[in-house]
Amino acid sequence: MGDVSDHAAGDRKVPKLPIEGKRNILITSALPYVNNVPHLGNIIGCVLSADVFARYCRLRGYNAIYMCGTDEYGTATETKAMEENSTPKEICDKYYAIHKEVYEWFNISFDKFGRTSTPQQTEVCQAIFKKLLENNWLSENTMQQLYCDTCKRFLADRLVEGTCPKEGCDYKSARGDQCEKCSKLLNPTELKDPRCKVCQKTPRIRDTNHLFLELPLLKDRLEEYINKMSVAGSWSQNAIQATYAWLKEGLKSRCITRDLKWGVPVPHERYSDKVFYVWFDAPIGYVSITSCYTPEWEKWWKNPENVELYQFMGKDNVPFHTVMFPSTLLGTEENWTLMKTISVTEYLNYEAGKFSKSKGIGVFGNDAKDTNIPVEVWRYYLLNNRPEVSDTLFTWADLQAKLNSELLNNLGNFINRVLSFIAKPPGQGYGSVIPKPSDSDPDPLTHEPTKKLVGSIVECVEQYVEAMEKVKLKQGLKTAMSISNEGNGYLQESQFWKLYKDDQPSCSLVIRTSAGLVYLLACLLEPFMPSFSLEVLKQLNFPPETPFSLEKGDIDRASRPWDILPAGHKIGTPEPLFKELKDEEVEFFRTKFAGSQADRIVRAEAEAEKMAEQLKKTKVSESSGKKQQNKKPTSEAKARASAEPEISIARLDIRVGLITSAQKHPDADSLYVEEIDVGEGQTRTVVSGLVKYIPLEEMQNRKVCVLCNLKPATMRGIKSQAMVLAASNSDHTKVELVEPPKSAQVGERVTIPGFDGEPDDVLNPKKKVWETLQVDLHTNTELVACYKDIPFTTSAGVCTVSSITGGSIR
């Protein structure tokens, strides 16, 4: 099952060209912008997803190349250069190296990872422009643009921020080209209350001349292409929706030039002081990067009869690839290879908010490496959590759960059980040798456990191929992983450890079959976790260059897993493939990566100062006398230390409560005073700061979740004897009550399955029990209230909120 040659990130020595009669696939992922370090959302949104598909294509024997690189021109680079007091070229060189290093660590197998600030980019971009000009698809127009009198320059889109004009959005930090919150594409002059990003002053509108691509004139050709290819290429639903939304709004002329210095110069005498707008030149980067890969690039890009173009990106990039770029190429009236299939991801959110490069929020590529969590774990988690049809959420607790239960206890457990048993000495195992079949072996096709297993495996492999061909990567991964489920079940059902003593021929068949599954898993999972597959090869004692393959004959071998590995082959040394991620490590990472990168730097500096101060004190105490250093803790102190129980969610006394009455606090406009029945025979008085979020009438006679063992606190003269639990969104503009099921019994305890124990009578505020546990209370994508990822549970079902996903509960 053949080609695991590890395509390290970088360039291949012998460029591939399309081959007549073979399936030729050209793969691109959205060019990551070069003004920052890529975060995990960027990585799963484009480069990692495309890498999985590229690796799969190579396994199938397709003639595939994967092109990518950094998008380097435009305002964002100029802005970053100003921030770092350097030139745009220096910024690009710095961040190109960072991007390349991150992708190499993530095992991204580019055939070429290039950049757009090259002579080839200028050449291809200007050639396309001249064709559009020659074919009369361009127009000249005067447009109004924001001009900053303080900075003495026209402000390109990304140098302007303001309030989004879209009704219902009103995001205060919308950029001049696109609102990050609602994804609406904008012109800077549409923003409400615009401000210059450099000096924060209000710019004025001034006339400037520019060139435009006449999209309305290309509408018929574009719609014909979209209608045909969205069906033939099985475009993802989110891509289709975004594209048709654009067409429905009506195509408008789009400006293709900008008043900047850093970019591809416009080869036109009246516009020689301008450069091309980044939306126009960036997609052309796919072409120019291919031209850096091979001088015969046109065999890939002007060969639609023999080449299929697959493109991967996040949802905010869709219109540029389904409307703008195809229109540009159609306008040249040349025989371009247009996109056949587009694979689009929604957003991967981080804990309770959004990943953001500009704000430095989330886990970034270099952070992932610094955690010492292996790359195969990161790849697996991101792909398992790939936001294919809706936004998904990265949480440290979920990463821990998937690593410990799916990779360690399922996949790693199966492989280790099989190989460790083979490695046992004769008399206990097979002396590290794949057992040879004998005449007394049962027929695999009639041996009931094996026959049943093969039926499941064949079905899994067929489903895997079907999913991967349709670029349903998440489904492909889950299907491959189900084979290790089947393998674990097969081992349990056959009870091979008993067979070894009682029925050696049957045991030999079970072990040969299971060893074949180990190799099959390494093959199917290679696109997702190439480093894992290499480690399995090592433990099987095959050289790392051993080719995996999923061509027709190889797939057929899945129906005879006992024949996959040669009998008599000597395996290597089995070792655990995955390591458990412990609770304390998860808590450490959650704390370490909280807030923005700027916050983390401040925290690190404060920690360094604190440590330096402690070192000074240590030196003083050492010089004043070393006897105290050796003083042992008294038995009384030890007893006190051991008496404090561990901080567990079971220590919280959360109950189903019924608000019997609620009114506004007489001395505080923002507070309610409620009387809540928590099953004690008399109500408790509770003060809650919910006035601006929940109308008074909605507070009456409703069931809520109540934390009953906080120390009572007086709030504006009224003692609050408990706390009503509520969830808030990331910017605390929306708050909703956590509600138990309507049929839950008043006074019953809300539990977290798996956490047993009696609650404290009163939580000791000095021990910060509530504060420690609260950071793990949140709502998930199904609106269920959770501790980590375990639901708040009552006898009548789980507790929920109305609409806030990823909210923090307090």
Alpha-carbon distance 490 to 623, whole Å? 66
One DSSP character per residue, 420-442 reads HHHHSPBTTB-TTBPPPP-TTSP
Q: Is the pLDDT of residue 161 over 60?
A: yes
Residues 22-39: tens digit of each pLDDT: 999 999 999 998 888 888
Q: Is the pLDDT of residue 45 over 70?
A: yes
Residues 289-301: tens digit of each pLDDT: 999 999 999 999 9
Can you name the residues that pair with 800 across neighbouring β-strands? 739, 784
DSSP 46: I
The predicted model gives 368-396 an average pLDDT of 91
Query: Which single residue is written with the structure tokens 């060209």?
Result: 17
State residue 186's pLDDT score.
87
Alpha-carbon distance 633 to 485, whole Å? 50
Q: Is the pLDDT of residue 470 over 70?
A: yes
Can you name the residues that pair with 765 across neighbouring β-strands? none
Q: Which residues contact 571 (CB under 8 A, 6 or more apart)?
A: 419, 422, 423, 432, 433, 434, 515, 539, 540, 541
Q: Is the pLDDT of residue 558 over 50?
A: yes
| Residue 466 banded pLDDT, cuts 50, 70, 90 | very high
| Residue 616 banded pLDDT, cuts 50, 70, 90 | low
| Residue 455 banded pLDDT, cuts 50, 70, 90 | very high
Residues 179-200: tens digit of each pLDDT: 888 888 888 889 999 999 888 9
Q: 128-142, 222-236, 391-405, 546-560: which range is least confident on average? A: 546-560
801 neighbors 728 (Cβ within 8 angstroms): no
pTM: 0.71
Q: Is the pLDDT of residue 54 over 70?
A: yes
Q: Which residues contact 671 (CB under 8 A, 6 or more apart)?
A: 664, 665, 687, 688, 689, 691, 715, 716
State residue 507's pLDDT score.
94
Alpha-carbon distance 733 to 207, whole Å? 39
263 conformational bin, left if phi > 0, alpha if psi -120 to 50, beta if neither: left
Alpha-carbon distance 487 to 456, whole Å? 10
State residue 49's pLDDT score.
96
Residues 673-728: tens digit of each pLDDT: 999 999 988 899 999 999 988 999 889 999 999 999 999 988 888 899 999 999 99
Alpha-carbon distance 487 to 491, whole Å? 6
DSSP 33: B
Q: Is the pLDDT of residue 792 over 80?
A: yes
* HSE-CB of 339 using CA atoms within 13 angstroms: 34
The predicted model gives 498-506 an average pLDDT of 92
User: What mean pLDDT is reported for the chain?
Assistant: 88
